Amino acid sequence: MPEPSPDQSPEISPTTSATASTATSATTGEVPAFGWSGYAERVNGRFAMVGFIAVLLIEALSGETFLRWAGLVP
C-alpha cells in the first residue's frame, strides 16, 4: 500500500480513536458508559435474563420453588 504524501493526512474513523476512553462498543457505535445509556440498559437486561434462566433451572432441577430452595420460606 502506498504511503500517503505529507500533505495528505490519513482519515481516522470514529471506531479507531487515539484514546481508549472513547472506544466504541463492539456491536454498536455507542461509547460504553455507566448510567442511563442504551449500552448500560442492554447489559442490565442481558444479566437479568441470565438470572431469570438460572432461577428456572434451579426450580426445574431441585423440584422446589426458588424461595424454598434458598431457605427464605419454610
State pLDDT tens for residues 7-66: 665 555 555 544 555 777 677 777 766 677 888 889 999 999 999 999 999 999 999 999
Rg (Cα) of the chain, in Å, rounded? 23
For the cut 70, the answer to whether the pLDDT of residue 67 exceeds it is yes
Residue type, 39: Y
How far is it, in rounded angstroms, from Cα 35 to Cα 37? Answer: 6
Residues 14, 24 contacting (CB under 8 angstroms): yes
